[in-house]
Amino acid sequence: MTTLAFLDDAYLQQLATVITVVDGAWVETEATVFYAMGGGQPGDSGSFTGAAGRQHRVLDTRKGEAGRVCHQLEDDHGLRPGDTVIQALDWPRRYAHMRMHTALHLLSVAVPFGVTGGQIGADKGRLDFDLGETSLDKEQLSSQLNALIAANHAVSAGWIGEAELDANPELVKTMAVKPPRGAGRIRMVTIGDIDYQPCGGTHVARTAEIGPIRVLSIKNRGARNRRITLGWDEETTS
Ligand SMILES: [Zn+2]
């Protein structure tokens, strides 16, 4: 099992660690700052720097078996198990994912319906809701989200037992993505007193870090499903 350094500190950008497995371009390490694709959040990119100071690009990060994390390096990396490397994230990209991911939590607060899917990107993010006949106004929802952002709620994470989650099934808002299981515990993310849900992703520490946001579109996806897409409000940020 790879130690996931970002679960304790999402702001950690670099980490010295030791390579454990090399399978062609795919490299595993004892610990990692790289988030592996999952829960709608893309895998991190960045670099590994080896002992000789040679830098190798990390193109993508994926989940392996049994809680292991696999980093996809460029083919000719030449690294071996036992080598020490310094991992470094493509921080602007990851930080944008953290901001957008946290914004989608706020969207699930503003739109209190079941979530049927979602995707996080550095420029845009979206959630699909089982909204039925309820209609939403783009401008009104944008204002509501920006008010939640500006309120600067603290974001924190903790753990509960799987049995506790099973006894409180209403905590799971996302029907499409089941919380990761297996270690007997579930990671819960709290935003102020407005949101509490299982999540294994990376978030900002306070909602004001998200910055101004805009509802780009609300589209029909079938009879009951509505896709709500968020983007950065560049008119306000630039
Ligand atoms: Zn989350």
Residue 203 has pLDDT above 60, yes or no: yes
What is the average per-residue pLDDT within 69-75? 95
The range of the structural domain enclosing residue 224 comes to: 94-237
Predicted confidence band at 223 (pLDDT cuts at 50, 70, 90)?
confident
- The alpha carbon of 82 and the centre of ligand 1 are apart by a number of angstroms equal to 33
Is the same domain home to 98 and 200?
Answer: yes
Per-residue pLDDT, 176: 57
Q: Are 105 and 160 in a shared domain? A: yes
* 51 C-alpha to ligand 1 centroid (Å): 35
Are residues 103 and 23 located together in one domain of the fold? no
pLDDT of residue 111: 96
Give the contacts of 59 (CB within 8 A, at least 6 positions apart). Answer: 45, 72, 73, 74
190, 221: one domain:
yes
Residue-wise pLDDT tens digits, 135-181: 899 999 999 999 999 999 999 999 988 888 888 887 777 755 666 66
Whether residues 109 and 209 share a domain: the answer is yes
**pLDDT more than 70, % of the chain:** 95
Q: What is the mean pLDDT of residues 66-72?
A: 95
Q: Cα–chain-centroid distance for residue 83?
A: 29
**By the 8 A CB rule, do 127 and 216 touch?**
no
Residue 236 CA to ligand 1 center (angstroms) comes to 25
Name the pLDDT band for 209 (thresholds 50, 70, 90). very high
For residues 200 and 119, state if they share a domain: yes
Instruction: Please count the structural domains in the chain.
Output: 2
pLDDT at 179: 62
Question: Which of 89, 104, 130 is a domain's end point?
Answer: 89
Is residue 178 located within the same domain as residue 212? yes
CA of 15 to the centre of ligand 1 (A): 22
User: How far apart (Å, rounded) are the C-alpha atoms in residues 120 and 112?
Assistant: 19
Residue 201 Cα, ligand 1 centroid: separation in angstroms? 5
Cα(49) to ligand 1 centroid in Å equals: 29
Parallel, antiparallel or unpaired: strands 31-32 and 3-4: parallel
* Burial bucket for residue 215 (CB in 10 Å: 0-12, 13-18, 19+): buried
Distance 181 CA to ligand 1 centre (A): 15
Separation of alpha carbons 217 and 49, rounded Å: 41
The fraction of the chain above a pLDDT of 90, given in percent, is 76
Same domain, 35 and 123: no
The whole-chain average pLDDT of the chain stands at: 92
Pairing state between β 84-89 and 46-49: antiparallel
Closest among 203, 205, 200, 210 to 237, alpha carbons compared: 210
- Cβ neighbours around 149 below 10 Å, total: 21
Who wins on pLDDT, 70 or 184?
A: 70
The pLDDT confidence band at residue 132, using thresholds 50, 70 and 90, is: confident
Over 70: is that where the pLDDT of 19 sits?
A: yes
Question: Where residue 162 sits, what CATH number does that domain have?
Answer: 3.30.980.10
Predicted local confidence at residue 178, as pLDDT: 63
- pLDDT class of 60 with cuts at 50, 70, 90: very high
Task: Quote the ligand 1 centre to 57 CA distance (angstroms).
Answer: 27
pLDDT of residue 164: 84
* Whether the Cβ atoms of residue 16 and residue 86 lie closer than 8 Å to each other: yes
3-class DSSP state of 51: coil
State the CATH number of the domain containing residue 43. 2.40.30.130
CA of 137 to the centre of ligand 1 (A): 25
Going from the Cα of 202 to the center of ligand 1, the distance in angstroms, rounded, reads 6
Q: How confident is the model at residue 123 (pLDDT cuts 50, 70, 90)?
A: very high
Distance 63 CA to ligand 1 centre (A): 17
Q: How far is the CA of 58 from the centre of ligand 1 (A)?
A: 23
Check if the beta carbon of residue 175 is closer than 8 Å to that of residue 114. Answer: yes
CA pair distance 191, 152, nearest whole angstrom:
10
Q: How far is the CA of 118 from the centre of ligand 1 (A)?
A: 11
Q: In 3D, which of 99, 111, 56 has the Cα closest to residue 80? A: 56
Ligand 1 centroid, distance to 102 Cα (angstroms)? 6
Using CA atoms, how far residue 36 sits from 10, 43, 126, in Å, is 13, 4, 19
| Last residue within a domain, chosen from 73, 89, 105 | 89
Which tens digit of pLDDT belongs to each residue from 20-59? Answer: 999 999 999 999 999 999 989 999 999 999 988 999 999 9
One domain, residues 74 and 188? no
CA of 50 to the centre of ligand 1 (A): 32
* Boundary (domain end) residue, out of 35, 57, 89: 89
